[in-house]
Structure 1
């Protein structure tokens, strides 16, 4: 007997409304029926932007569980996410940020059934950073879609930013998931069945967001648990500063290649398993 489709859980920041629409449509195509979101808007976001995004949500038939404003402390997302998970109740929870589009190696019901049969209470994913062909931090057209605007996929998060590229993409309701959905303490996913998490973060406006993040965490206006998030933002800003405002897509470390939401990258299972099982937190030496 197949499980009930999972509930999609997300805390949504001030993204552009077309991204929210594309995100919702993507997960609906995967068979998601319940979508629980909460909005959080830092103080710099204009009222008009908030209202526009809330209107887009209503047009999609989604009533946000809540809307909050104020500093985006590192613990803010986790607290809001866990409140949504509590509201979602028993069953499987699909966890995805608004710029994360999951691509599973099999239909979602099969993925969940396989996890249950093998005794896994979580399913793992690995970030596949999506960027424009020339590495520009460009905007995109809803008519053309995200795949056309950001055709390259690679490993920017951990090989440049030294961030954790691992994700918990599905978890049973009673499984605790760490901040950022990177780990589920005491639980290990099946590393032979790792989801590709297409990460559409590197869009127009991201540099301002990263500068703001560095400023607020450094000043203490936003509270951080470790300096990791701030350091990752600084590394990206330094990189684009050294490459005339773009991401260097020709750097072989990042393994950028053309990918699509319609087809898993070639040799993904081996690639994902290798990274997922060998990744370790970055040991800061004072030299990047």
Structure 2
């Protein structure tokens, strides 16, 4: 017998959360909860995640041996819904998954936990039985799933995957592997999780005594639709693996397909065959759709469709001593841009592991549905080390062709059309790096104002202007290139320190054809305000002087950072502790016009062609050498030596 969970931790039920996603199946959910209420060893904590049902889930009639709560979220698919449930299961040691059309047997939870036994990196899956024997489609569908389980068990080497309606693991391990990939909205999220679980060094253990009865009522049409979705999910998974360099075929051996038809009655054998035709059709349809999208993308001059197979991540670093007031605003902004909470990567920086801000930051992330546990970086802040931390996280977590938004916690990106449309437009033009200009945000009177929870951050800092260069000026180590930022790039393109340009040797292709910092006109604030991709920089806040003082005394501060920081402090000292509005260029009431975006993009790509003779040399230079060359060019212009 497997070892039982450590009794010193209390009863298993007290340390367990059962997560049940639900979408528009109120009767099935009611039946599922009734069976959960009869589980042995309770009371059990049940978290129902209403994935945007037409009629919100109502738990008012639930009673029995469970403590049930409901979380309602916008529809994002069952994988994303399960992630939301796990994020809400604070304090749970074990997580059990089942679906709203399942009926767990009384000893189900205890059997799963007994098999899991508190072992790290152990994913346990139970047995699923068909609860509707009179429904030929349901019987055939479940028989297919069980045949796959039996096939892998018979050939040895462990289970290939577990279905998500009967699964158990440690919550910490689930969070460590990143949870379910929300890009799999219909199917194959279980296969993807199981693969990543193995890649992380985990094991898959089958517990046949942990049984749920599956009451998935099907018709001929829904049977076909279900198995076609399996094919689309498989294609999505294969494409994800191919992007990561794994091009191996992942289809079952012919012996498995032959076994499907053996020892079965003619009706079930026919339905088994039909299921495979539907799966093949779904796979082929998804592959054809991808090919058409690629063809259209090459032919079009404006934009293409960015599918779910190209995930978009958002990555930041937060100093828990100074940045927590901005973090809720930052999270709301990027979630509203369309970043999935599951794809937010946060690095928390503190000088000691017991800094109280770490716990506060975790609570903020939890309140906004961020499932992935934050990366913890304990050390004094320096820009160089911070960008090393970000590059390491980007390389480790993201696939090379994923899009990544790198944004400091005081940076709020502005896109001239929906984010996915902008990235699709960039991809259609062959670009894998999108830069934007930084526009400073100021309080109405220029004071370094505190950041409050409300109102919106842009209402608290309503002025937009060119402040950084007005105060910091330019020098061989600090130029206008420092106010250009990479807004989005493929994950294989790592940012150089500061995030202004790609690291040397990455071979980036830019949306505007050339780096924005190389445009002659970048010196002109009016030109900068006209660039459609912008980053609103909420830098000029109450905590800034203390942050600058601390960073200037930290060993390893960059020369550019030290010089720029001193100039800011000198400006504040000379102007009553704030920004002198008469010394900066304000945008006024100008705003981005989305209708002008395609034309302005085409115009900037034409402007980018007008390169000076030094362009080939500059493309081979490092960032510092480029800044020196830019300062030399500005000197020539100021002395009338360059047109």
Length-normalised TM-score, structure 1? 0.83
1:114 aligns with 2:425: yes
Q: 2-side partners of 1:19 and 1:101: how far apart?
A: 10
Question: Over the residues paired in the alignment, what is the CA RMSD in angstroms?
Answer: 2.9
Unpaired runs of at least 5, structure 1 = 217-221
1:1-288 matches, within 5 Å, as: 1-3=305-307, 4-14=310-320, 15-33=322-340, 34-42=343-351, 47-62=355-370, 63-86=372-395, 87-90=397-400, 91-161=402-472, 162=474, 163=478, 164-184=482-502, 185=504, 186-187=507-508, 189-191=510-512, 194-216=532-554, 222-224=555-557, 226-251=558-583, 254-258=584-588, 264=592, 281=627, 283=631
Of structures 1 and 2, the larger Rg is shown by 2
User: Contact between 2:416 and 2:593, CA under 8 Å: does it hold in 1?
Assistant: no
Structure showing greater relative contact order (alpha-carbon pairs closer than 8 Å, 6 or more residues apart): 1
Q: 1-side partners of 2:324 and 2:549: how far apart?
A: 22
Count of aligned pairs between the two proteins: 269
Residue by residue over 1:130-151, the C-alpha shift from the partner in whole angstroms, topping out at 9 and shown as x without a partner, is 1111110011322212112111
Q: 1-side partners of 2:465 and 2:349: how far apart?
A: 29
Q: 2-side partners of 1:12 and 1:66: how far apart?
A: 10
- The alpha carbon displacement at 1:18 in A equals 4.0
User: Contact between 2:436 and 2:534, CA under 8 Å: does it hold in 1?
Assistant: yes
Q: 2-side partners of 1:249 and 1:265: how far apart?
A: 26
Q: 2-side partners of 1:204 and 1:155: how far apart?
A: 19
Unpaired runs of at least 5, structure 2 = 1-304, 514-530, 612-625, 633-643
**Richer in helix (by share):** 2
User: Contact between 1:138 and 1:204, CA under 8 Å: does it hold in 2?
Assistant: yes
Q: 1-side partners of 2:311 and 2:589: how far apart?
A: 27
- The alpha carbon displacement at 1:179 in A equals 1.0
- The alpha carbon displacement at 1:73 in A equals 2.7
Q: 1:234 to 1:259 in 2, by over 3 A?
A: farther
- The alpha carbon displacement at 1:201 in A equals 1.1
User: Contact between 2:382 and 2:551, CA under 8 Å: does it hold in 1?
Assistant: no
Q: 1:188 to 1:228 in 2, by over 3 A?
A: farther
State the partner residue of 1:219.
none
Q: 1:53 to 1:265 in 2, by over 3 A?
A: farther
Residue by residue over 1:27-55, the C-alpha shift from the partner in whole angstroms, topping out at 9 and shown as x without a partner, is 11111111111111135x98223321222
Residue by residue over 1:60-91, the C-alpha shift from the partner in whole angstroms, topping out at 9 and shown as x without a partner, is 22233421212223321112111221212231
